[in-house]
Amino acid sequence: MNEWTPKLFSSLKTYSSKQFAKDVVAGIIVAIIALPLSIALAIASGVAPEQGLYTAIVAGFFIALLGGSSVQISGPTAAFATVVAGIVAQHGMSGLALATIMAGILLIVMGVLRMGTLIKFIPYTITTGFTAGIAVTIVIGQIKDFLGLKLEKAPIETTEKFVEAVKGLPTTSLHALFVGLACLTILILWPKINKVIPGSLIAVLAGIGLVKGLDLKVNTIGNLYDISASLPKFTAPSLSFDAVHKLFPDAVTIAVLAAVESLLSCVVSDGMCGSRHQPNTELVGQGCGNILSALFGGIPATGAIARTAANVKNGGRTPVAGMVHAVVLLLILVLLMPYAKWIPMPAIAAILFMVAYNMSEWRTFVYLCKTSPKSDILVLVLTFVLTVVFDLVVAIEVGLLVAVIFFMKHMADTTEVSGWKYFTDEELKNDENAIGRKAVPSNAQVFEIIGPMFFGAAEKFADFPIERGINVLILRMRGVPVVDATAMRSLNHVLEHCKRNEVTLVLSHLQPQPASVLEKSGFLERVGADNICVNIDAALERAAQLGKK
Angle at 92 between CA 90 and CA 93, to 5 degrees: 145
Same domain? For 227 and 94 the reply is yes
pLDDT band at 177 (very low <50, low <70, confident <90, very high): very high
Four-CA torsion 257, 258, 263, 266, nearest 10 degrees? 130
Same domain? For 491 and 345 the reply is no
Sign of CA dihedral 358, 101, 46, 383: positive
pLDDT band at 292 (very low <50, low <70, confident <90, very high): very high
Q: What is the H or E stretch that residue 473 is in?
A: strand 472-479
Give the count of domains, the chain: 2
Query: Which residues face 303 on adjacent strands?
Result: 74
- Over residues 417-431, mean pLDDT: 50
Same domain? For 344 and 465 the reply is no
User: Is 513 inside a domain boundary?
Assistant: yes
Same domain? For 211 and 315 the reply is yes
Residue 14: Cβ-neighbour burial (10 angstroms; 0-12, 13-18, 19+): exposed
User: Is 392 inside a domain boundary?
Assistant: no
Give yes or no for residue 60 having a pLDDT over 90.
yes
The pLDDT, as a whole number, for residue 98 is: 96
Residue where a domain stops, chosen among 339, 360, 381: 360
The answer for 480, left when phi > 0, alpha when psi is -120 to 50, beta otherwise, is beta
| Nearest CA among 505, 116, 512 for reference residue 285 | 116
Same domain? For 194 and 285 the reply is yes
Backbone angles phi, psi at 333, to 5 degrees: -60, -45
Sign of CA dihedral 421, 424, 426, 429: positive
User: Is 394 inside a domain boundary?
Assistant: no
Rounded distance between C-alpha atoms, residue 4 and residue 7, angstroms: 9
Same domain? For 322 and 449 the reply is no
Domain that holds residue 505: 416-547
The pLDDT, as a whole number, for residue 414 is: 65
Rounded distance between C-alpha atoms, residue 73 and residue 302, angstroms: 8
Predicted TM-score (pTM) of the model is 0.75
Same domain? For 217 and 349 the reply is yes
The pLDDT, as a whole number, for residue 436 is: 47
Same domain? For 431 and 283 the reply is no
- pLDDT tens track for 490-547: 888 889 989 988 999 999 999 999 999 999 989 999 999 999 999 888 999 999 998 8
User: Is 30 inside a domain boundary?
Assistant: yes
Sign of CA dihedral 332, 334, 335, 336: positive
User: Is 8 inside a domain boundary?
Assistant: no
Same domain? For 280 and 423 the reply is no
Indicate the DSSP class of residue 535.
S
Rounded distance between C-alpha atoms, residue 18 and residue 12, angstroms: 13
Four-CA torsion 473, 475, 476, 479, nearest 10 degrees? 160
| Identity of residue 211 | V
Query: Which CATH number do you get for residue 534?
Result: 3.30.750.24
- Over residues 408-425, mean pLDDT: 61
The alpha-carbon radius of gyration of the chain (Å, integer) is: 31
Backbone angles phi, psi at 453, to 5 degrees: -95, 95
* 440/318: higher pLDDT: 318
**264 and 119 in contact (C-beta within 8 Å)?**
yes
| Nearest CA among 371, 266, 359, 355 for reference residue 319 | 266
User: Is 323 inside a domain boundary?
Assistant: yes
**131 and 361 in contact (C-beta within 8 Å)?**
yes
Task: Give the DSSP per-residue string, 72-116.
Answer: --EE--GGGHHHHHHHHHHHHHHHHHHHHHHHHHHHHHHHHTT-G
Backbone angles phi, psi at 94, to 5 degrees: -65, -40
Same domain? For 432 and 318 the reply is no
Question: Over pLDDT 90: what percentage of the chain?
Answer: 48
Q: Distances in Å between the alpha carbon of 233 and those of 120, 167, 295, 314?
A: 38, 41, 8, 32
Backbone angles phi, psi at 228, to 5 degrees: -120, 135
User: Is 434 inside a domain boundary?
Assistant: yes
| Nearest CA among 58, 48, 35 for reference residue 333 | 35
Rounded distance between C-alpha atoms, residue 115 and residue 112, angstroms: 8
Of the listed ranges 96-100, 252-256, 353-357, 413-417, the least confidently predicted one is 413-417
Pairing of strands 504-508, 444-450: unpaired
Backbone angles phi, psi at 352, to 5 degrees: -70, -30
Q: Distances in Å between the alpha carbon of 61 and those of 226, 282, 325, 342, 472?
A: 26, 13, 8, 28, 70
| Nearest CA among 106, 74, 119 for reference residue 307 | 74
- pLDDT tens track for 455-504: 776 666 666 777 888 899 999 888 889 888 888 888 888 899 899 889 99
Angle at 139 between CA 125 and CA 302, to 5 degrees: 60
The pLDDT, as a whole number, for residue 419 is: 60
**432 and 477 in contact (C-beta within 8 Å)?**
no
**304 and 141 in contact (C-beta within 8 Å)?**
no
Same domain? For 427 and 335 the reply is no
- pLDDT tens track for 123-154: 888 888 888 888 898 899 889 999 999 988 77
Rounded distance between C-alpha atoms, residue 397 and residue 258, angstroms: 16
User: Is 11 inside a domain boundary?
Assistant: no
Same domain? For 168 and 286 the reply is yes
The beta strand positions in 109-232, using DSSP E, are none
